[in-house]
Structure 1
Amino acid sequence: MRKHRLTALLLGLLTAGTALVTSASAAATPNKVDYAEPELNYAKLLQYSLYFYDANMCGTTVTGKNRLSWRGNCHVYDAKVPMQAIDDNYTGTNLPASYLTKYKDIFDPDGDGFIDVSGGYHDAGDHVKFGVPETYAGTMIAWGYYEFREAYEKIGEAAHTEMLIRHFCDYFMKCTFRDAKGDVIAFCHQVGDGAEDHKYWQSPEIDAMGRPAFFATAEKPATDVMSEAAACLAISYCDFKETDPDYAAQCLDYAKALYTFAASNDKALLKGADGPASFYESKKWEDDFCFAGGWLYLITKDHWYLEQCLPYDDYYAPPGYVLCWNDMWNGVSIIFGRIQDEYPEICEETRVAIGRGKYEKLNFWEMEAKALNEYQAAKKSTKAGYFFMDKWGSARYNTAAQFCALVYDKYNKGKDAFDSTKPDYHFSQWALGQMEYLLGDNPMDRCYVVGYNEKSAKYPHHRAASGLTMAEDPAEHKHILWGALVGGPDRNDHHNDITADWVDNEVTIDYNAAFVGAAAGMYLAFGDDSMQPTADFPPPEKENDADLFSGNEFWATGYYQDAPEATGAGTTKLTFFVNTDCLEPHTDLSIRYYFDISEFKANTDIPGSFVLQCPYDQVQTEVSGKHAEISKPKKYKDNIYYVEVAWPDYAIANSNKKVQLIIGMFYGDNWDPSNDWSLKGMKELGEEYDNLVSGVEVAERCPNVCVYADGKLVGGTEPDGTVPEKVYTRAQAERLMKHLLTVKPIEDEEAAKQFDLSEDKELDARDLSLLLNLIKNS
């Protein structure tokens, strides 16, 4: 039995005895170890949960604002969306030219021909800014702060949280385009194309793919996403009204404008064809519309908001699902319950508005309590007692249910309005058991919060944090994605902790959204003085001295299959990918494959029967207007030639797009690839070569396939031993100085070799002098 000091709010519960155990199972039991002892520190949990949003921040103000050293400005070209229809390169907008012309002064106030929709947050491990989950995430972060603000203040994260909320609000207000009267004429609900974005696995700072902007207008209404944006801004008004009244007033003004637009125009769902495709298919708009209307009534006491939304209320909906980006009915029930406490007439007004019988009595708190009781039922739990709604992000639904339970108990003093036989605060106790499961008290002995402790999931499906060039790479991640709630266990309490698993290990801004508020509620309800946030968080990135010489490296990966003929002729099938650790996109890269023709009967030139084919160019297949350009064989020196493959104006590095070549002789001469310079060190495959779909998962570094940037060698080794010039930096000199002063010795052998510029196997002042000269002359 673990000991918790419950707040006075929960004292009544302690005398309720063992009646707390639900019929679901004896597992996920609050205050009791069912499988493994978890680390329970809700101050730390809340602190960590916020930092996932730092990791997913986007725009031109990330650097300096963000608290993670490995994230910086990205997708700065979202500030330069061309005022044109979306073209084959995924740039432009979904708006007709006539609309852009009519409102040019609003879309393009500085007259540069572009629309600025920079900012916001990436959706997940990918980098699209999807409207429905982003507005939901902003709403939930603001709402959690509103309900449990004391928790954020106690752990010293209030200013950080407000920065994150402002980043949401600033983006939503930037994306709201209003005329001189203040009326909304368009709202940008999405930037980026899901299918195009998912072709890459790289950090957002080097992305260069096209990112179209999608807008909602009176002709293309999106009641769901515009209402949810209004809700986020309205709640944020409440968050800032005491500390920054001017900013709060601005948020409320935009919230009203967006809601007025939603109420005044045709009501419709955001259509998949207008951006989200199948990634986020909203099923209804009424819930978002009612949720925003409820908040605006609470704030303004203007009955107009109730008149607009009550006819669309689905009173009996909450028990049918859980609070999430696609279902806000539990949120509606809670907010209408709060209105009911102040304005009881809402119950009768709603009954009339939705056409229910005159003898029917509505009680929004009772309906929410019914939903919470439903979550506790055995039919929605795993064998280990984990509340399970769906395999896609099971943990997000679980923590959203926890959040609703904690907010419900806050306003109802723990009384179950649906079943009065239940002990007080049993909803909060149930939530406690669920959180304990997620933190490690489960059959997997796993914590589903990244970075929380040693038991945490370590391989979230996240490009930026992984530092990898493909999701299939099983390597250790370069960065810790602090506080990210991974997808979670399946119905059998099982979980795969691998980067490539986008079900179990997906991380998204909507997964963490209710989780943050649940952590805050847990801290206020169940925290004690032993629970403290981590000091000096986040910690410095783990230093790897070898990384001091990285950031400018390019290399090719690939594999080959030899196809010899009995006549002595033959061909070699080649597959290549291009990679880099550089944090800037390069559109001037090419690779060279060097081969030797010494075996040719007449080896002074390339014969006419020489074969050079490109059976597959993935860029040409998937990117409109772009393709690989393959040179004819060019002489390097003596009997060595090369073919060069370039991708003009396309950022090929880390795109995971392959090019395949066939080189050799079908007839008429000998072909022996064993003497080819670039083949040395390449991975050879057999018959499986032609059966691979992607191939990126089996490709290995090709040390002698050279990479060039605008003709300059930047990767690989040429036949005469030439290697790229090293880049020397002030950071390297500072590190060597620490070593020489014995402040921090360099222990990595490979790093020491790179610092040993004098090549005497000693690191001394001479090496520092040589390094400083190289920096000065570079």
Structure 2
Amino acid sequence: MVAVGSDGGRMKSSAVVFVMVMVFLIHTVEKVIGEYDYGEALTKSLLYFEAQRSGRLPYDQRVRWRGHSGLTDGLEQGVDLVGGYYDAGDHVKFGLPMAFTMTMLSWGVMEYRDHIADAGEYAHALRAIKWGTDYFIKAHTQANVLWAEVGEGETDHYCWQRSEDMTTSRKAYKVDEENPGSDVVGETSAALAAAAIVFRDVDPRYSRLLLHHSKQLFKFADNNRGKYDRSITAAKNYYASVSGYNDELLWSALWLHRATEDDCYLDYITKNAYNLGGASWAISEFSWDIKYAGVQVLAARLSMDQNHRREYSQNSILTEYKKKAEFYMCSCLGKNNGTNVRRTPGGLLYVRRWNNMQYVSSASFLLTVFSDYLKAADKTDIDCSDGIITVEQVSEFVKFQINYILGSNPMGLSYLIGFGPRFPKRVHHRGASTVSYRNDKGFIGCTQGYDNWYGRQSDNPNVLVGAVVGGPDHNDMFRDVRGNFMQTEACTYNTAPLVGVFAKLRKQNHPNPIQTLANQK
């Protein structure tokens, strides 16, 4: 089913020839079979979040192989931390990637709300966001306290169990004034502010509640600065904050400005543009850790907004943000005088070997929204070091990346699980790889899962529909092996940025009348 690379020169040459031939065949087939069903991809991507739910599942849960889990989370610490999401194939609830997932999901719904409604998925999108934001409200127990992790990686990774059977530690960890965590607090503030915009029209009361918590969290993050992985050392080996917290402070302020239009946040963004790095750092990746490119795209939107009058100095600084956003765009499209994102022989953006698809999905989203912001400002191109790129070229590039994910690649695999005729069948995921709790409620012990399920050569008994796995290596090769977690593990923040992109691509192919949002709440 899959090809495996070799360290031998002859095998490497053969692999390259294989890739070149497959790329040619893929492009030929694409011309014959036409477009992918992006509406199906959208539907399945939202379904994935239901598979990752922690807590007591609702009556309308569609992923039927899951059951209730984590029902005592926070009990030992005297706080209710039931709910939220597992970020990947294990069962620790890491606050930083969970919050980033919700920010990106909210951003996509915000920008492409009508497109998502057209596809009949608006209600599902709102529920996916609310499952996360309800948890963040619970976790923010005091103005300067945020519970940022439940469980810990060492004991969790020792076991291979379904979430319904967990015997691992569910110890909860918090950040506070004495033990700060500006990165995780800032990202949670951003998630709540972005979600407040999404819910403003459909549930104003809930929107105001989200905004209240977001404002408190931003103040907490800014006034009590520090990296969360120094306060919660259990997170350091799994989600270390390599970029620090400066980007999250700007990120949070930008989302609060968009949610409130309060100029105090604009002042913060412009006055701290250089000392926090937003207008000075030129970055070629965007992820749960490094937000600068996202910060710069949001600020670029402000710089192109002609409806608000600002001081000359503010406009000048916002223009500097925009230049850095353009650096990111040019880097992705290979027009940045050598400082470009690498690509595989098959054309996929390639940042690093561990879960590379997260960078592809986040880049696809940023490129999509930035090109839309340019169009809204009647701008048609970006001036890069190595030439002009047009918004149409950006859109085509995004479509190429998305089609690669969906199956137009040398392996002929869809890296969106459950989409198309061929996709990875041995995803690195405890629940998916083990007999469904609904089919067999017999307890599976900590190491029993490794003995009876992890090492099996057969396909997973449950399909993790809508998950985006880590993806191929730098030569477009992929090994569908459960233990190959760098390639076969899926994460929520891989899928979240694609929701909006799928919705837009579907709309381009199916410009049907917009359904009323009232019918989908």
Distance 1:253-1:316 versus aligned 2 partners, 3 A rule: closer
Shift, 1:374, TM fit: 0.8
Distance 1:28-1:371 versus aligned 2 partners, 3 A rule: farther
- The within-5 A match list for 1:220-259 is 220-259=179-218
Shift, 1:326, TM fit: 0.8
Report the equivalent of 2:8. none
For 1:187 and 1:379, the matched residues in 2 are separated by 35
Report the equivalent of 2:372. 410
Report the equivalent of 2:7. none
For 2:223 and 2:74, the matched residues in 1 are separated by 29
For 1:45 and 1:258, the matched residues in 2 are separated by 34
Relative contact order (alpha carbons < 8 A, sep ≥ 6): 1 or 2 greater?
Answer: 2
Report the equivalent of 1:437. 404
Report the equivalent of 2:44. 48
Report the equivalent of 1:368. 325
Of residues 140, 149, 162, the one that matches 1:190 is 149
Q: Does 1:295 align with 2:258?
A: no
For 2:509 and 2:500, the matched residues in 1 are separated by 14
User: Partner of 2:294: helix, strand, or coil?
Assistant: helix
Report the equivalent of 2:479. 496
For 1:525 and 1:324, the matched residues in 2 are separated by 27
Unaligned segments of structure 1, at least 5 residues: 1-24, 84-113, 179-183, 353-360, 530-778
Report the equivalent of 2:388. 421
Report the equivalent of 2:441. none
Distance 1:27-1:458 versus aligned 2 partners, 3 A rule: closer
For 1:134 and 1:49, the matched residues in 2 are separated by 16
For 2:309 and 2:287, the matched residues in 1 are separated by 27
Report the equivalent of 2:463. 480
For 2:152 and 2:309, the matched residues in 1 are separated by 46
Of residues 103, 107, 130, the one that matches 1:139 is 103
For 2:223 and 2:463, the matched residues in 1 are separated by 46
CA RMSD of superposed structures (Å): 2.5
User: Partner of 1:271: helix, strand, or coil?
Assistant: helix
Shift, 1:79, TM fit: 4.5
- The within-5 A match list for 1:501-650 is 501-527=484-510
CA contact (8 A) 1:38 1:440 kept: no
Shift, 1:423, TM fit: 3.3
Report the equivalent of 1:115. 79
Report the equivalent of 1:59. 55
Aligned length: 459
For 1:525 and 1:269, the matched residues in 2 are separated by 42
Q: Does 1:128 align with 2:128?
A: no
CA contact (8 A) 2:54 2:82 kept: yes
User: Partner of 1:40: helix, strand, or coil?
Assistant: coil
* Structure whose residues are more often helix by fraction: 2
Measured against aligned partners, the alpha-carbon deviations of 1:437-478 in whole angstroms (never above 9, x if no partner) come to 111111111111110121112221111111162322222211
For 2:107 and 2:344, the matched residues in 1 are separated by 29
Distance 1:442-1:282 versus aligned 2 partners, 3 A rule: same
* Paired letter, 2:411: M
For 2:171 and 2:66, the matched residues in 1 are separated by 23
* Paired letter, 2:388: T
User: Partner of 2:93: helix, strand, or coil?
Assistant: coil
Distance 1:27-1:455 versus aligned 2 partners, 3 A rule: closer
Report the equivalent of 1:536. none
Shift, 1:350, TM fit: 8.2
* Paired letter, 1:369: E
Q: Which moved more, 1:127-136 or 1:316-325?
A: 316-325
Higher-Rg member (1/2)? 1
User: Partner of 1:421: helix, strand, or coil?
Assistant: strand
Distance 1:493-1:306 versus aligned 2 partners, 3 A rule: same
Of residues 318, 325, 332, the one that matches 2:288 is 325
For 2:144 and 2:505, the matched residues in 1 are separated by 42
Q: TM-score, normalised by structure 2?
A: 0.82
CA contact (8 A) 2:357 2:494 kept: yes
Measured against aligned partners, the alpha-carbon deviations of 1:304-350 in whole angstroms (never above 9, x if no partner) come to 22333441442456752322101111110111112223457478348
Shift, 1:276, TM fit: 0.4
Distance 1:447-1:174 versus aligned 2 partners, 3 A rule: same
- The within-5 A match list for 1:689-728 is none
For 1:321 and 1:148, the matched residues in 2 are separated by 25
Shift, 1:398, TM fit: 0.8
- The within-5 A match list for 1:34-45 is 40-45=36-41
* Paired letter, 1:322: E
CA contact (8 A) 2:374 2:391 kept: no
CA contact (8 A) 1:186 1:216 kept: yes
* Paired letter, 1:475: S
For 2:102 and 2:208, the matched residues in 1 are separated by 18
For 2:341 and 2:151, the matched residues in 1 are separated by 39
Q: Does 1:70 align with 2:65?
A: yes
Q: TM-score, normalised by structure 1?
A: 0.56
For 1:424 and 1:214, the matched residues in 2 are separated by 45
* Structure whose residues are more often strand by fraction: 1
CA contact (8 A) 1:38 1:441 kept: no
Q: Percent identity?
A: 27
Measured against aligned partners, the alpha-carbon deviations of 1:365-410 in whole angstroms (never above 9, x if no partner) come to 3332221121121761111111111111111111111101110111
Q: Does 1:452 align with 2:419?
A: yes
Q: Does 1:305 align with 2:269?
A: no
